[in-house]
Amino acid sequence: MKYIINKQIVLLVLLLIGSHSFPQDLKNQTQSTQIQQPELTAEQAEQRLRNELDRLRNDWANLERYREDNENIGLPDHGENRIVFMGNSITQGWGRLDTGFFKGKPYINRGISGQTTPQMLVRFRPDVIELKPKVVVILAGTNDIAGNTGPMTIDQIFGNIVSMAELARANGIQAVLSSVLPAFDYPWRKGLEPAGKIAALNDLIKDYAEKNGHIYLNYYTAMVDERMGLKEEYTYDGVHPNEKGYMVMAPLAVKAIEEALLKIKNQE
Protein backbone atom coordinates (compact mmCIF):
# COMPACT_ATOMS: atom_id res chain seq x y z
CA MET A 1 0.00 0.00 0.00
CA LYS A 2 1.41 3.40 -0.97
CA TYR A 3 1.01 6.55 1.09
CA ILE A 4 1.07 10.04 -0.36
CA ILE A 5 2.83 12.03 2.34
CA ASN A 6 3.70 15.68 2.60
CA LYS A 7 5.63 17.53 5.26
CA GLN A 8 2.52 19.02 6.87
CA ILE A 9 0.95 15.58 7.34
CA VAL A 10 4.20 14.23 8.78
CA LEU A 11 4.39 17.11 11.26
CA LEU A 12 0.76 16.73 12.33
CA VAL A 13 0.92 12.98 12.90
CA LEU A 14 4.24 13.19 14.72
CA LEU A 15 2.76 15.80 17.01
CA LEU A 16 -0.20 13.54 17.75
CA ILE A 17 1.75 10.33 18.26
CA GLY A 18 5.07 11.64 19.48
CA SER A 19 4.93 14.74 21.57
CA HIS A 20 2.86 13.14 24.31
CA SER A 21 4.83 9.89 24.32
CA PHE A 22 6.85 9.02 27.39
CA PRO A 23 10.63 9.09 26.95
CA GLN A 24 12.38 5.72 26.88
CA ASP A 25 15.00 6.73 29.45
CA LEU A 26 13.10 9.00 31.78
CA LYS A 27 15.02 7.77 34.81
CA ASN A 28 18.07 9.64 33.51
CA GLN A 29 16.15 12.91 33.30
CA THR A 30 16.15 15.31 36.23
CA GLN A 31 12.90 16.73 37.48
CA SER A 32 13.65 20.12 35.98
CA THR A 33 14.99 18.94 32.63
CA GLN A 34 12.93 19.63 29.54
CA ILE A 35 12.28 16.42 27.65
CA GLN A 36 13.80 16.64 24.20
CA GLN A 37 12.45 14.70 21.24
CA PRO A 38 15.14 13.35 18.91
CA GLU A 39 15.49 15.17 15.62
CA LEU A 40 14.46 13.12 12.61
CA THR A 41 15.50 13.38 9.01
CA ALA A 42 12.73 13.74 6.44
CA GLU A 43 13.17 10.08 5.49
CA GLN A 44 13.03 8.94 9.12
CA ALA A 45 9.93 11.03 9.75
CA GLU A 46 8.17 9.59 6.72
CA GLN A 47 9.12 6.03 7.71
CA ARG A 48 7.88 6.60 11.23
CA LEU A 49 4.63 7.89 9.84
CA ARG A 50 4.25 4.87 7.55
CA ASN A 51 4.92 2.52 10.46
CA GLU A 52 2.34 4.28 12.63
CA LEU A 53 -0.26 4.28 9.86
CA ASP A 54 0.34 0.57 9.31
CA ARG A 55 -0.04 -0.13 13.02
CA LEU A 56 -3.22 1.92 13.32
CA ARG A 57 -4.67 0.15 10.29
CA ASN A 58 -3.74 -3.37 11.42
CA ASP A 59 -3.67 -3.12 15.22
CA TRP A 60 -5.57 -0.01 16.28
CA ALA A 61 -5.68 -0.98 19.97
CA ASN A 62 -2.03 -2.12 19.96
CA LEU A 63 -2.82 -5.64 21.11
CA GLU A 64 0.66 -6.70 20.02
CA ARG A 65 2.34 -4.39 22.54
CA TYR A 66 2.06 -6.83 25.44
CA ARG A 67 1.09 -10.06 23.66
CA GLU A 68 4.40 -11.84 24.24
CA ASP A 69 4.73 -10.54 27.80
CA ASN A 70 1.22 -11.76 28.58
CA GLU A 71 2.00 -15.22 27.22
CA ASN A 72 5.20 -15.44 29.26
CA ILE A 73 3.90 -14.12 32.56
CA GLY A 74 1.65 -17.06 33.34
CA LEU A 75 -1.06 -17.31 35.96
CA PRO A 76 -0.64 -15.90 39.48
CA ASP A 77 1.02 -18.06 42.11
CA HIS A 78 -1.16 -19.36 44.91
CA GLY A 79 -1.85 -16.50 47.30
CA GLU A 80 -0.40 -13.87 44.94
CA ASN A 81 -2.16 -10.52 45.13
CA ARG A 82 -1.59 -9.67 41.48
CA ILE A 83 -2.42 -6.09 40.48
CA VAL A 84 -2.66 -4.84 36.89
CA PHE A 85 -2.30 -1.14 36.09
CA MET A 86 -4.24 -0.28 32.93
CA GLY A 87 -3.64 3.11 31.40
CA ASN A 88 -1.85 5.44 29.02
CA SER A 89 1.60 7.09 29.07
CA ILE A 90 1.17 8.17 32.69
CA THR A 91 0.90 4.51 33.69
CA GLN A 92 3.49 3.34 31.18
CA GLY A 93 6.00 5.95 32.32
CA TRP A 94 5.63 4.97 35.96
CA GLY A 95 7.04 1.55 35.14
CA ARG A 96 10.01 3.07 33.31
CA LEU A 97 10.92 5.60 35.97
CA ASP A 98 13.23 4.26 38.65
CA THR A 99 11.03 5.10 41.65
CA GLY A 100 11.01 1.55 43.01
CA PHE A 101 7.21 1.51 43.04
CA PHE A 102 6.81 -1.62 40.88
CA LYS A 103 10.01 -3.36 41.97
CA GLY A 104 9.51 -6.54 43.98
CA LYS A 105 5.73 -6.27 43.95
CA PRO A 106 3.14 -8.32 42.05
CA TYR A 107 2.31 -5.23 39.99
CA ILE A 108 1.95 -5.53 36.22
CA ASN A 109 2.13 -2.38 34.09
CA ARG A 110 -0.12 -2.34 31.04
CA GLY A 111 0.06 1.32 30.09
CA ILE A 112 0.46 2.40 26.46
CA SER A 113 1.41 5.94 25.54
CA GLY A 114 -1.25 8.02 23.83
CA GLN A 115 -4.09 5.54 24.29
CA THR A 116 -7.73 6.41 24.74
CA THR A 117 -10.49 4.55 26.57
CA PRO A 118 -11.91 2.76 23.48
CA GLN A 119 -8.45 1.34 22.75
CA MET A 120 -8.06 0.22 26.36
CA LEU A 121 -11.50 -1.35 26.28
CA VAL A 122 -10.52 -3.44 23.23
CA ARG A 123 -7.39 -4.74 24.93
CA PHE A 124 -8.89 -5.10 28.41
CA ARG A 125 -9.40 -8.85 28.04
CA PRO A 126 -5.85 -9.88 27.01
CA ASP A 127 -4.06 -7.22 29.06
CA VAL A 128 -6.13 -7.52 32.24
CA ILE A 129 -8.73 -10.29 32.47
CA GLU A 130 -6.58 -13.10 31.12
CA LEU A 131 -3.79 -12.24 33.57
CA LYS A 132 -6.17 -13.11 36.44
CA PRO A 133 -5.34 -10.23 38.79
CA LYS A 134 -7.19 -9.61 42.01
CA VAL A 135 -7.28 -5.88 41.34
CA VAL A 136 -7.07 -3.64 38.29
CA VAL A 137 -6.13 0.03 38.66
CA ILE A 138 -7.59 2.00 35.75
CA LEU A 139 -6.24 5.44 34.88
CA ALA A 140 -7.74 6.72 31.64
CA GLY A 141 -9.47 9.62 29.94
CA THR A 142 -7.05 12.49 29.40
CA ASN A 143 -6.10 11.41 25.87
CA ASP A 144 -9.80 11.13 25.00
CA ILE A 145 -10.28 14.74 26.07
CA ALA A 146 -7.27 15.61 23.91
CA GLY A 147 -8.95 13.91 20.94
CA ASN A 148 -6.12 11.48 20.26
CA THR A 149 -8.42 9.04 18.44
CA GLY A 150 -11.08 11.54 17.46
CA PRO A 151 -13.70 13.64 19.22
CA MET A 152 -15.12 12.15 22.43
CA THR A 153 -17.77 13.48 24.77
CA ILE A 154 -17.37 13.23 28.54
CA ASP A 155 -20.27 10.77 28.62
CA GLN A 156 -18.59 8.57 26.02
CA ILE A 157 -15.32 8.56 27.93
CA PHE A 158 -17.11 7.79 31.17
CA GLY A 159 -19.09 5.02 29.49
CA ASN A 160 -15.90 3.27 28.40
CA ILE A 161 -14.47 3.46 31.92
CA VAL A 162 -17.73 2.03 33.27
CA SER A 163 -17.52 -0.80 30.72
CA MET A 164 -14.01 -1.69 31.91
CA ALA A 165 -15.20 -1.69 35.52
CA GLU A 166 -18.13 -3.93 34.59
CA LEU A 167 -15.85 -6.34 32.73
CA ALA A 168 -13.59 -6.48 35.77
CA ARG A 169 -16.49 -7.25 38.11
CA ALA A 170 -17.91 -9.90 35.79
CA ASN A 171 -14.55 -11.68 35.97
CA GLY A 172 -14.06 -11.43 39.72
CA ILE A 173 -11.60 -8.54 39.61
CA GLN A 174 -11.90 -5.59 41.98
CA ALA A 175 -11.67 -2.29 40.10
CA VAL A 176 -9.84 0.78 41.36
CA LEU A 177 -10.96 3.77 39.30
CA SER A 178 -8.42 6.59 39.27
CA SER A 179 -9.14 10.25 38.85
CA VAL A 180 -7.70 11.82 35.73
CA LEU A 181 -4.69 13.95 36.57
CA PRO A 182 -5.23 17.71 36.24
CA ALA A 183 -4.03 19.46 33.07
CA PHE A 184 -4.35 23.12 32.17
CA ASP A 185 -3.39 22.52 28.52
CA TYR A 186 -2.02 19.78 26.27
CA PRO A 187 1.35 20.57 24.68
CA TRP A 188 0.45 18.49 21.61
CA ARG A 189 -3.09 19.94 21.27
CA LYS A 190 -2.99 23.46 22.63
CA GLY A 191 -6.10 25.50 23.27
CA LEU A 192 -8.54 22.70 24.14
CA GLU A 193 -9.04 24.00 27.70
CA PRO A 194 -9.21 20.52 29.28
CA ALA A 195 -9.22 21.54 32.95
CA GLY A 196 -12.98 21.82 33.39
CA LYS A 197 -13.64 18.67 31.36
CA ILE A 198 -11.22 16.69 33.51
CA ALA A 199 -12.93 17.91 36.69
CA ALA A 200 -16.35 16.98 35.29
CA LEU A 201 -15.15 13.50 34.28
CA ASN A 202 -13.64 12.94 37.72
CA ASP A 203 -16.95 13.83 39.36
CA LEU A 204 -18.67 11.16 37.27
CA ILE A 205 -16.01 8.54 38.05
CA LYS A 206 -16.09 9.28 41.78
CA ASP A 207 -19.87 9.13 41.99
CA TYR A 208 -20.03 5.91 39.98
CA ALA A 209 -17.32 4.22 42.05
CA GLU A 210 -18.98 5.10 45.34
CA LYS A 211 -22.42 3.93 44.21
CA ASN A 212 -21.22 0.67 42.65
CA GLY A 213 -18.74 -0.74 45.14
CA HIS A 214 -15.54 0.21 43.33
CA ILE A 215 -12.58 2.01 44.88
CA TYR A 216 -12.02 5.63 43.86
CA LEU A 217 -8.35 6.64 43.70
CA ASN A 218 -8.11 10.41 43.99
CA TYR A 219 -4.82 11.67 42.55
CA TYR A 220 -6.44 14.92 41.43
CA THR A 221 -6.87 16.72 44.76
CA ALA A 222 -3.24 16.19 45.79
CA MET A 223 -1.84 17.37 42.45
CA VAL A 224 -4.04 20.22 41.23
CA ASP A 225 -2.96 23.87 41.28
CA GLU A 226 -4.95 27.11 41.40
CA ARG A 227 -5.47 27.02 37.60
CA MET A 228 -6.92 23.49 37.77
CA GLY A 229 -3.69 22.33 36.15
CA LEU A 230 -0.98 19.96 37.34
CA LYS A 231 1.29 21.54 39.94
CA GLU A 232 4.52 22.68 38.33
CA GLU A 233 6.72 20.82 40.79
CA TYR A 234 5.04 17.52 39.88
CA THR A 235 5.44 17.61 36.08
CA TYR A 236 7.85 18.28 33.25
CA ASP A 237 5.27 19.24 30.61
CA GLY A 238 2.03 20.05 32.41
CA VAL A 239 0.52 16.60 31.77
CA HIS A 240 2.96 13.84 32.71
CA PRO A 241 4.29 13.44 36.25
CA ASN A 242 7.97 13.69 37.01
CA GLU A 243 9.58 11.64 39.76
CA LYS A 244 8.24 13.94 42.45
CA GLY A 245 4.76 13.62 40.98
CA TYR A 246 4.92 9.83 41.02
CA MET A 247 6.09 9.95 44.62
CA VAL A 248 2.86 11.77 45.45
CA MET A 249 0.84 9.20 43.52
CA ALA A 250 2.50 6.11 44.99
CA PRO A 251 1.11 6.13 48.55
CA LEU A 252 -2.35 7.03 47.23
CA ALA A 253 -2.24 4.04 44.89
CA VAL A 254 -0.98 1.73 47.63
CA LYS A 255 -3.77 2.84 49.96
CA ALA A 256 -6.41 2.23 47.28
CA ILE A 257 -4.97 -1.21 46.47
CA GLU A 258 -4.96 -2.17 50.15
CA GLU A 259 -8.56 -1.05 50.42
CA ALA A 260 -9.46 -3.14 47.37
CA LEU A 261 -7.70 -6.24 48.73
CA LEU A 262 -9.43 -5.82 52.11
CA LYS A 263 -12.75 -5.54 50.31
CA ILE A 264 -12.04 -8.82 48.50
CA LYS A 265 -11.03 -10.53 51.75
CA ASN A 266 -14.22 -9.42 53.48
CA GLN A 267 -16.29 -10.84 50.63
CA GLU A 268 -14.65 -14.27 50.78
The rounded Cα 40 to chain-centroid distance in angstroms is 26
Q: If pLDDT is split at 50, 70 and 90, which confidence band does 20 have?
A: very low
Residues of the chain with pLDDT > 90, as a percent, come to: 74
> Does 49 or 232 have the greater pLDDT score?
232
pLDDT value of residue 214: 98
Mean pLDDT across 262-266: 94
Q: Is the Cα torsion angle 22, 83, 181, 207 positive or negative in sign?
A: positive
Question: Which residues on adjacent β-strands are paired with residue 89?
Answer: none
Mean pLDDT across 259-266: 95
* CB contact at 8 A, 62 and 44: no
pLDDT value of residue 23: 36
Domain boundaries, the chain: 67-267
For the chain, the residue count is 268
Mean pLDDT across 171-190: 97
For residue 71, count CB atoms less than 10 angstroms from its CB and return exposed for 0-12, middle for 13-18, buried for 19 or more. exposed
pLDDT value of residue 228: 98
Sheet of 215-217: strand order equals 107-111, 83-87, 135-139, 174-178, 215-217
pLDDT value of residue 5: 44
Q: What is the largest CA-CA distance in the chain?
A: 60
Look over the chain and give the mean of its residue pLDDT values, rounded to a whole number: 86
Q: Report whether pLDDT(35) > 60.
A: no
Q: Report whether pLDDT(8) > 90.
A: no
- 67-267 topology per CATH: Rossmann fold (3.40.50)
Q: Report whether pLDDT(38) > 70.
A: no
pLDDT value of residue 1: 40
Q: If pLDDT is split at 50, 70 and 90, which confidence band does 242 have?
A: very high
Phi, psi for residue 235 in degrees, rounded to 5: -150, 160
Q: Enumerate residues 6+ apart whose C-beta is below 8 A from 129.
A: 167, 168, 171, 173
- Residue-wise pLDDT tens digits, 116-150: 999 999 999 999 999 999 999 999 999 999 999 99
Mean pLDDT across 41-62: 77
- Residue-wise pLDDT tens digits, 55-96: 677 889 999 999 999 999 999 999 999 999 999 999 999 988
Euclidean distance between CA atoms 62 and 72, whole angstroms:
18
